[in-house]
Every structure is written in structure tokens, then in C-alpha cells.
């Protein structure tokens, strides 16, 4: 489990694509805290470190993850948001983030708002049904508060710290991002009785 508070802005060092999937090599300052078999969130996707050496780690990305996330399009040099799993004694600074990406959104617009920056993302109705104003959402693994929700989009506001510490600071219109909606909303929907036909 993660909280959506990015610990490091790492970089894709290598992308080894085969018919079986993709092996990523990610350069980061977090390798001192990582061991083989440990979980690490890469742009909000929970991956397993298969090898840790020389200031980088490797992780295998299976087809299901490639279909659901933007990791299918990463190239060497891309910046990626990295987070290590929550420890039982840690503060819960963001919200409950599983690292299980629900889908992809596209950045439509960015505009300055004082020292903050508003980002507007286009997303599918299947995802937007779980997005509410002032609710939580993970965008590329970053825990954010929703500012507004429209019929086909939602917006968030980023403070300078988030712009500097994450890849969202460099995001331009057209950028694809991973979305993880609030898991509590999905559970509530699942537990509700189906609507009665009228």
C-alpha cells in the first residue's frame, strides 16, 4: 500500500521490450532502501524490484499492466514518480493508494493560478463516475485533491512542491498519465444494491 507522496523523481535508464513483456531499468536515489522482491510504485504502478544494483533497479512489466497504464510508452530518459510502500508506523499523508492503475487520462490544459498550477485531464466516463469534487485521486502515483469534475474531465491544483518533486511539473497538453481512483468509492458501489427499474 502507498500514500501517493512521491519520494523521488527517478529516470528510466533502459526499456527492454520482448514478446513476453517489458523489463524496465530505473535510476533512483532510493536503491539503498530497496531490495530484490520489494514493491515500488512507478508512476503509480506497483512493480516488484527484481534486481537492485549500481543506483538502479529492474522491474518486469506484464501485459496486463502495459494494457492499463502509460508504462507501455515510456522511453529511456523519461522521468518517473517513485514511492516506496507505506510502513505500519508511517504517517498517512496522502490517501490509500494501491498501485493498481484503473486507466489512463490525457492532460488537456494547464494554467497558472497564483503560485499553483491547474491541470485539467480528460478521462473516460467509466473512471469519472468515481471522481468527486474535493475527493482524492492518484495521478501518476501522486495523491491529489480534485478541484472540479465535468462530463468528460476533471481538474486538480498543484502546489510548487509537487510541481518540483514530480513529473507532473513538466507535463504538457497531450501527456498520458495513470489514474487510480479512490478504492473506497469502488467498494461502496459494489456493496450498493442495483437500482430498481422504473
The answer, yes or no, to whether residue 3 has pLDDT greater than 80, is: yes
What is the domain-level CATH number for residue 159? 2.40.30.20
State whether 59 and 130 are in the same domain. no
Q: Is residue 3 part of a domain?
A: no
Contact 92, 42 (CB under 8 A): no
Answer with the one of 54, 83, 112 that is the final residue of a domain: 83
Q: Is residue 171 part of a domain?
A: yes
State whether 111 and 33 are in the same domain. no
State whether 119 and 161 are in the same domain. yes
**Residue 168 grid cell:** 507532473
State whether 75 and 151 are in the same domain. no
User: pLDDT tens, 45-90?
Assistant: 999 999 999 999 999 999 999 999 999 999 999 999 999 998 877 7
pTM of the model: 0.91
Please report, for residues 40, 48, 56, the alpha-carbon distance to residue 21 in angstroms, rounded to integers and kept in the order given.
Answer: 18, 14, 19
User: pLDDT tens, 4-52?
Assistant: 999 999 999 999 999 999 999 999 999 999 999 999 999 999 999 999 9
| Cα–Cα distance, 23 to 105 (Å, whole number) | 23
> Does 192 or 67 have the greater pLDDT score?
67
Per cent of the chain over pLDDT 90 is: 84
State the total domains in the chain: 2
- The DSSP secondary structure of 134-170, one letter per residue, reads T-EEEETTEEEEEEEE-SSEEEEEE-HHHHHHSGGGG
Answer with the one of 83, 115, 136 that is the final residue of a domain: 83
Amino acid at each position: 500500500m502507498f500514500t501517493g507522496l512521491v519520494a523521488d523523481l527517478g529516470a528510466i535508464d533502459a526499456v527492454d521490450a520482448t514478446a513476453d513483456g517489458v523489463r524496465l531499468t530505473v535510476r533512483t536515489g532510493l536503491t539503498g532502501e530497496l531490495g530484490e522482491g520489494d514493491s515500488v510504485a512507478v508512476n503509480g504502478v506497483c512493480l516488484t524490484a527484481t534486481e537492485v544494483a549500481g543506483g538502479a533497479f529492474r522491474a518486469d512489466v506484464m501485459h496486463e499492466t502495459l494494457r492499463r497504464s502509460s508504462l507501455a510508452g515510456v522511453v529511456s530518459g523519461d522521468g518517473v514518480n517513485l514511492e516506496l510502500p507505506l510502513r505500519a508506523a508511517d504517517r498517512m499523508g496522502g490517501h490509500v493508494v494501491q498501485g493498481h492503475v484503473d486507466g489512463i487520462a490525457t492532460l488537456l490544459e494547464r494554467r497558472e493560478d497564483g503560485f499553483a498550477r491547474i491541470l485539467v485531464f480528460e478521462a473516460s466516463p467509466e473512471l469519472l463516475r468515481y471522481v468527486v469534487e474535493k475527493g482524492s485521486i492518484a495521478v501518476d502515483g501522486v495523491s491529489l485533491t480534485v478541484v472540479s469534475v465535468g462530463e468528460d474531465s476533471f481538474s486538480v491544483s498543484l502546489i510548487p512542491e509537487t510541481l518540483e518533486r514530480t513529473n507532473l511539473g513538466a507535463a504538457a497538453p497531450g501527456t498520458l498519465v495513470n489514474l487510480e481512483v479512490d478504492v473506497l468509492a469502488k467498494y461502496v458501489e459494489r456493496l450498493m444494491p442495483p437500482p430498481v427499474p422504473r
